[in-house]
Amino acid sequence: MPLDEPVLTTAPDSRVARLNVQMRHHAARDVISAAIDAVENLALVSSFGAESVALLHLASRVKKDLPVLFIDTQMLFPETLAYQREVAINLGLSKIKIIRAPDIATQDPDGTLHQRDPDACCALRKTAPLDSALQGFDGWITGRKRFQSGTREQLPHFEAEVRKDTAAARIKVNPLAFWSPMDVADYIIENNLPRHPLVARGYPSIGCAPCTTKVMPGEDPRAGRWRNQPKDECGIHFAEGRIIRSGALT
């Protein structure tokens, strides 16, 4: 939906404040439309994980040729790679860019970095390649939600993302910020969307294969991510230059 007035000429923080006021009580699809109108060069970043299809479907209904960035860490489950292709075809997404780190062979030749230093592995395979891919964009859409962690209890629809290594800012858009777990589940069912095949096999949160385990009944949905390690985030989200260590990408 068009905004009442142009916002591209204002500073990022002013844009974010205005967008949050205007879109506070609007639906996720309206938030995506407003973001497309407000941000000249916008991408959606998706892991094609357990809940990703809801946001991807919403975006496809607004703009099928919206750029979608998918990070292939080269340690993903084969099911995730197959699901990514299935969803892209199913939703008619025409601008999916698959991102891979260019230097894995030299930085992690035997594929064991995740065992020795999982943070370094995520930085190599996820954070650095995504950061490089986002250099050409003024903003990006994520699937983050308030219910995912305590640090996201006040998550707004729009944020100004200032990276610690640059003075430039990007607008981060969280269309599903106010959704509940039931909202996500209902949306997927009501729109007859394909589920990630690993969800039915006990994986409610899905990352790289070596660092993801099944979740037992009663456990937190993200208990299977980096199990028994003091880590619960890959490091691609920043606030005031610091990595946000909880919650999922999409």
Tell me the pLDDT tens digit for each residue of 198-230. Answer: 999 999 989 999 999 999 988 888 788 877 765
pLDDT for res 229: 67
DSSP 8-state secondary structure symbol assigned to residue 48: -
Structure tokens at 60: 């496809």
Structure tokens given for 244 = 């946000």
DSSP string computed for 114-142: HHH-HHHHHIIIIIHHHHHHHTT-SEEE-
Tokens of 87: 């969803």
Supply the pLDDT for residue 245. 37
Please pick, among 121, 208, 211, 234, the residue that the annotation labels catalytic. 234
Catalytic: 208? no
- Which domains does the chain show, CATH number per domain? 12-195+233-243 (3.40.50.620)
Q: Cα–Cα distance between 243 and 250 in angstroms, integer?
A: 16
In contact, 34 and 59? CB cutoff 8 Å: no
pLDDT at residue number 66 = 97
Helix extents (H) in the chain:
12-23, 28-38, 52-62, 78-91, 104-107, 113-116, 118-122, 128-134, 181-190
Phi, psi of 180 (to 5 degrees): -100, 165
Which SS3 state, helix, strand or coil, does residue 207 take?
coil
pLDDT at 5: 36
**Residue numbers of the chain with a pLDDT score lower than 50:** 1-10, 235-250
Question: What's the confidence (pLDDT) of residue 231?
Answer: 58
Residue 7's pLDDT is what? 35
